[in-house]
Amino acid sequence: RILRPHWKTLLVALLAVVGETLADVLEPWPLKIVVDNILQGKRLPRLLDAAVVGAFGSSQSALLKFALAMVVLIAIVGGIGAYVEKYLTTSVSQWIAHDLRLLLYQRIQRLSLADHGKSRAGDLISRVTKDIDDVQDFIDTALIGIAVNVLTLVGMIGVMLYVNWRFTLIGLSVAPVLFVFVYFYSRKIKEASRTVKRKESDLMSGVAEVFNSIQVVQAFAREDYEDRRFTSESRENVRAGLQARSIKAKLSPMADVIVAIGTCLVLGYGVTLVSAGELSTGVLIVFLMYLKKSYKPIKDLSKIANTLSKTAVSYERIQEVLGTESAIADMPGARTAPPFKGTIEFDRVTFGYEKDACVLRDVSLRVEAGQVAAIVGPSGMGKSTIASLVPRFFDPIAGAVTIDGADVRTLTLKSLRDQISFVLQDSLLFRGTIWENIAYGKPTAAPEDTIRAAQLANAHEFILNLPYGYATMVGERGSTLSGGQRRRIAIARAIVRDTPILILDEPTTGLDAASERAVVEAVERLMKGRTCLIIAHHLETIRRADVIFVVKDAAIVERGTHPSLLEAGGVYRELYDLQTGASRAPYANR
C-alpha cells in the first residue's frame, strides 16, 4: 500500500536495473575477444564478425578497436543505469519514509490517553525515528539491490549454461549450501536485532523521562544516580549490540569460505578442460569472471539477510502501533455535533482505569447550560476523572455522559472537542511565540481577537513587557515563564477558542497571592455565558458556583451551593474547616 503511489518511479528504476544487469553480463566478453580472437587468432561468430567488419574493418587493429569500444560502451550503460537506479530509489525511500512517519505520527496522536498511559514516550519516539530510518535504508540500499543481484545472477547463469552446462553446474554446486547456511543464520540475526531494538527503546525512554523531569532531578541532586542508571542501561545496549554484531560478523567470512571452495572446483576443472583442448582460454576467463560475479550477488544476498532482519524487526514495531486500535474512537455512525447549549448530564456512570478497580460508581449529576459547577473532594477520589469523561478522553464502563441530551459516544470526537475548552492544572505551552501559543486554541483567530483574549486573561500587560512582546519565544513546556504567566496564557488560549463548555482543573493551584488574584479575575471573565466544570481544592475559589458536587469513595456524596453545603455539616464542611483552620492557625499561634 505504501509502495503503490510510487510504482511508476520504481518501474523506471527497474528498467535502469535491466541496463545495469546487461552491463554486468557483457563485461567479461571484450576480454574474451582479446584473448581468443586477437591473441590466439580465432575467428568471431559469423554475424558478429560481419558487424565488426562493417563498422571497424577486417584488420586485427579493427578487432581491438571493437573490443575497446565495447569496454567503454558497457561502462557507460552500466554507469547510467546505476545512477538512475540510485537516484530514483533514494527519492522513493525518502518519500516512503515521510509517508510512514506521517502515518505513524497521526496514529500515535489519535491513540487514547489510556493507550498512551501504557506506552513509554521514548519507545514511541524510537519507532517514529529509528525504525522508520531502518525501513528507509532498506528501500534505499537493499530493495532494488536484491533485484539487481537476482537479475545479474539469472543472466550470468543463463549465459554460462548456454556455453557449457557441466562446467556451470560444478561452479554452482556450492550455491545450495550457501543459501541454506544464510537462511538458518538469518533467523539468529533477526532475534538479535529484535533484542537490540528493545534495548534502544528502553534507553531512549529513560533519557526522555529524565529530560522531561530535569527540574526534579536537580532539585533532589540525583544527577549521579541518573548517571549510574543511564550508564547501566547504555552498557546493556552495548552488550546487546556487540552480541548482535558478533552473530552478523560470522556470516560474511563463512560465506567467503564456501565461495572459495566453489572457485577452487571451477578453476581445477577448467584448467583440465583447457589442457585437453575442450575449452578455450578466453571462455575459461569468462567463466571465472562470471563465477566471481555470480558469487558476489550470492554473497550480497547473504549480507542482505542482516538488513532484512533489521528491517523486519523495525517494520514489526511500526505495524504494532499502526495495528493498535484506539480505545477511544469515532463510533460507527457517529454524527457531527450540533452547536451546544451546554447541558451536561451523567446518568448512572461507572468508570475505572482498570476493570476491577472503579474510580466512579453509579454517578449521576446534571449541570444546566450556562451554570458554573464545581467538583470537590479529597485527593484521588475521581474529580478529574469526571471532567475527563465529558470530552471522551475515556469512556464509562456503564452509564452514559450526555451533552444537550446526546450521548457523547454518538458524536465525532473532533466536533465534540471543538466545542470544549480546557485550562489544566499543568498549563503546558509549546516551544513557539506567545502569539502562537494563544492562537493554538483557534489558529484562524483574528489578531485583535488574540490580543483581546490576552487582555481578558490579564496577560496583555506582562506580554508587552517581554523582550519581543507577543513574538517572544517560549521555552519548551513554557519553562521560560512563571506558573502564573503560563496559567494566564492558557486562559487566553481558552478565551480565544470561545466554546460553550469550559473545563478548569485546579486553575489557581501553586500560585502566589498576586498571580492567584490575576488568574481568578481572568477565570471569572472566561466563565461568563458558558457551562463550566471546575475541579478545585481551594474551596474559597468556588464560593459563587451555581452547584457544587462533593466526590468521595467513588460516588457523589453531597451536592448543593456553598452556603447550603456548609450548613449541612457534611464532607464539604469538613474540607472547608480544614482549609480555613489551616490558614488561620499560623496567625493564631503568633
Return the pLDDT at 585: 36
Cα distances (angstroms) measured from residue 18 to each of 80, 156, 250 = 11, 13, 32
Within this chain, domains 4-322 and 337-419+528-590 share the same CATH topology: no
Return the pLDDT at 590: 30
Residue type, 88: L
Give the cell for residue 378. 479529597
Return the pLDDT at 85: 81
CA distance 81 to 162: 26
pLDDT in tens, the chain (590 residues): 677 777 788 788 878 877 877 887 787 777 777 777 777 767 777 777 777 777 777 777 777 888 888 889 888 888 888 888 888 888 888 888 888 888 888 888 778 777 777 777 777 887 887 888 888 888 777 776 677 777 777 777 777 777 777 777 777 777 777 777 777 777 777 778 778 877 877 777 777 777 666 656 666 667 777 788 888 888 888 888 888 878 777 777 777 787 778 778 777 887 887 787 777 777 777 777 776 666 666 666 656 666 777 778 788 888 888 887 777 888 888 899 999 998 999 999 998 887 777 888 888 999 999 888 989 888 777 888 888 899 888 889 899 999 998 999 999 988 998 888 888 777 778 778 888 888 887 888 888 888 888 888 888 888 888 888 888 888 776 667 877 788 888 888 888 888 899 888 877 665 666 666 777 777 777 778 889 888 887 777 788 888 999 988 888 888 898 888 888 888 888 888 887 764 433 323 33
pTM exceeds 0.75 for this model: no
Q: Are 470 and 435 in contact (CB under 8 A)?
A: yes
Which of 354, 308, 25, 311 is CA-nearest to residue 161? 25
CA distance 201 to 125: 8
Cα angle value 405/411/413 (rounded, 5°): 130
Return the pLDDT at 30: 79
Q: What is the DSSP string of 376-427?
A: E-STTSSHHHHHHHTTTSS--SEEEEEETTEEGGGB-HHHHHTTEEEE-SS-
How crowded is residue 256: how many other Cβ atoms within 10 Å of its Cβ? 13
Which of 468, 469, 431 is CA-nearest to residue 450? 469
Per-residue burial over 163-174, b if 16 or more Cβ lie within 10 Å, else e, is: ebeebbebbbeb
> CATH for 337-419+528-590?
3.40.50.300
What sign has the CA pseudo-torsion 233, 239, 244, 248? positive
Q: What is the 3-state secondary structure (H, E, C) of 45-100?
A: CHHHHHHHHHHHCCCHHHHHHHHHHHHHHHHHHHHHHHHHHHHHHHHHHHHHHHHH
Write the CB contacts of 439 (distance below 8 Å, at least 6 apart in sequence).
Answer: 445, 450, 493, 496
Burial class (CB in 10 A: 0-12, 13-18, 19+), 118: exposed
Q: What is the CA radius of gyration of the chain?
A: 37
Return the pLDDT at 499: 86
CA distance 123 to 102: 17
Return the pLDDT at 513: 66
Return the pLDDT at 484: 78
Q: What is the number of residues in the chain? A: 590
Q: Bridge partners of 547?
A: 373
Return the pLDDT at 586: 36
Which CATH homologous superfamily contains domain 4-322? ABC transporter type 1, transmembrane domain (1.20.1560.10)
Return the pLDDT at 139: 79
Domain ranges of the chain: 4-322, 337-419+528-590
Between helices 60-109 and 144-163, what is the axis angle to 10°?
150
Which H or E run includes 282? helix 281-322
Q: Are 534 and 540 in contact (CB under 8 A)?
A: no
CA distance 304 to 149: 11
CA distance 5 to 99: 10
